[in-house]
Structure 1
Amino acid sequence: MSTLNECETELIEKFPPPGAGRLEGKVAIVTGSTLGIGAATARLFARHGAKIVLNSRRYDAASHAMRTELGEQNALFVQADVSNKDAMEALVDQALEQFGRVDVLVNNAGMNVFADPLQMTQEQWQRCFSVDLDGVWNATRAVLPTMLAQGAGSIVNIASVHGHKIIPGCFPYPVAKHALIGLTRSLGIEYAARGVRVNSISPGLILTEAIQTWLSSCPDPAYEAQRQAALLPCKRIGDPKEVAYTALFLASDEAQFINATDILIDGGRSQLYHE
């Protein structure tokens, strides 16, 4: 019967088996955390021991429900638009005042802007980039000083399959998501030696509230849901929790050697050459 050597024992102590408490003692900011992938991520992080800073650009029923669900001792809600640099700095200040540190940032807030390139307004272009790219940078720039001072931190950006493949009729959203993946890689390399990791996740079709609303608007919602599922190699639409579990892994100490990379979560859809 073999016994563990000193190196193996050290690794086990450093990287405990997955389970409850994977973020024990950590503080995580999750932007856009009252619905969809953001809400699933906030709930999962809280289950694994993290204190959560919830965020939305408005305080509504969904925001109230999330704050109530997680509890005031474990969660702080800060209303802030990620496109506002000063608002994101204030959010981080409140997080530090409440919890004393920030270990994880999940940049989930985003918006779809789909328009004909030549008919798109300047306002549509600016709003897409102010949220989907500038918003990520605003939050990241706000947390970097405290993470660098700690010598540790994990930033997880929610990108998109649109950052890998082009779907006609979706301009300029893919432009912003390609840029977001570039931002992820650049910052991951920039701060790798100082203990801060920056990674991204690129979800495909995920059954969020927004997708449910879109399906409901179709002439035959059940048919459209089946049609969309049939396009995926796994023959089903993804669940927000599946993205959240990947964010949990990247945020945890289990992923300490993963940096400046992007993980696709699309059921294999982007690898198909043809239908």
Structure 2
Amino acid sequence: MSIINRVVLVAGASKGIGKAIALQAGKEGAYVIVNYNSDAQGADKVVTEIGTGRALAVQADISKPADIDRLINTSIARFSKIDVVIPNAAYVPLSDVETATEDQFDMAFAVNVKGPWLLVQKSLPYMSSGSAVIFISSDLTDSSTLPPQLFLYISTKGALNTMARSLAQTLANRGIRVNAVSPGPTETDSFFKSNTDGSSRMLAELSPFKRLGKPDEAAAAVSLLWRPESSWISGQIVKVNGAAT
């Protein structure tokens, strides 16, 4: 079985893991909504690679409810339904507990927690039994060593994991599955902005496989969860970190 002709909405799909997820969905025959906030060129490249007849780029800042309304309305006008929702967009402030600002706190929870909730809530009227929600978390939520400059980011991902487990139970009576994929250190622009060359090398050495993960590997885990064959997997946080924990 496959997701041919199903509609997959990926928030934050112009680069990194989101881009890899969108391309994987297109490769498997889905129609893909490529959401982006500021990288229009990157989103357009993803659409071109999938094919303009099967993909649509839509600008929206998922921290803003009005933008989410426009994203959903534009998607439905083009594809009439939504089968898979993947709230991948994230904000990663680099401040510890003493230097973080209230604005950073508010933005982190607006993009990383409120945005995914609203995206799911506003998609639900257009989803049917067999649909899926897949959150993108972080394996730092279970790590014993937490980078102090990422405490806000990690806090939001912890909240997202709880949301995934709660919504999985809430939406089960509608036949909608909810899971989260939790990548470890992965070669993305966001990762390299958060780490020095030295810390990147150290994290690679700490891996049992002696390397960082790749966006395509996170996308492969996501693709497992959207397939109909995974109908009994719900409420799970699936780590994609090369046996790191």
Matched, 1:129 2:109: yes
1:162–1:173 CA contact under 8 A, matched in 2: no
Matched, 1:78 2:58: yes
Q: Aligned ranges for residues 55-94 of structure 1 at < 5 Å?
A: 55-94=35-74
2:60–2:67 CA contact under 8 A, matched in 1: yes
Deviation string 1:218-261 (CA, Å, 9 cap, x unpaired) is: 4xx4x654432111112111010011011111011011111111
Structure 2 gap ranges (5+): none
1:46–1:52 CA contact under 8 A, matched in 2: yes
Change (3 A) 1:243 1:51: same
Find the aligned partners of 2:201 and 2:61 in 1 and give their Cα distance: 35
1:206–1:239 CA contact under 8 A, matched in 2: yes
Find the aligned partners of 2:158 and 2:199 in 1 and give their Cα distance: 28
Q: Which amino acid aligns with 1:197?
A: R
Find the aligned partners of 1:211 and 1:119 in 2 and give their Cα distance: 20
Give 1:158's aligned residue. Answer: 136
Q: 1:252 aligns with which of 206, 227, 236?
A: 227
Q: 2:163 aligns with which of 141, 160, 183?
A: 183
Find the aligned partners of 1:59 and 1:210 in 2 and give their Cα distance: 14
1:174 CA drift (Å): 1.3
1:44–1:244 CA contact under 8 A, matched in 2: yes
Find the aligned partners of 1:211 and 1:172 in 2 and give their Cα distance: 15
Find the aligned partners of 2:66 and 2:130 in 1 and give their Cα distance: 24
Superposition TM-score, scaled by structure 1 size? 0.84
Q: Which amino acid aligns with 1:154?
A: A
Determine helix, strand or coil for the equivalent of 1:72. Answer: coil
Find the aligned partners of 1:85 and 1:45 in 2 and give their Cα distance: 26
Give 2:209's aligned residue. Answer: 234
Matched, 1:95 2:75: yes
Q: 1:138 aligns with which of 110, 118, 121?
A: 118
Percentage of identical aligned residues: 29
2:168–2:235 CA contact under 8 A, matched in 1: yes
Deviation string 1:28-55 (CA, Å, 9 cap, x unpaired) is: 0000001000000000110000000000
Find the aligned partners of 1:105 and 1:62 in 2 and give their Cα distance: 20
Find the aligned partners of 2:45 and 2:129 in 1 and give their Cα distance: 34
Q: 2:146 aligns with which of 163, 167, 175?
A: 167
Superposition TM-score, scaled by structure 2 size? 0.93
Number of aligned residue pairs: give it: 243
Q: 1:37 aligns with which of 17, 22, 25?
A: 17
2:135–2:179 CA contact under 8 A, matched in 1: yes
RMSD over equivalenced CA pairs, Å: 1.6
Change (3 A) 1:119 1:214: closer
Determine helix, strand or coil for the equivalent of 2:220. Answer: helix
2:192–2:200 CA contact under 8 A, matched in 1: no
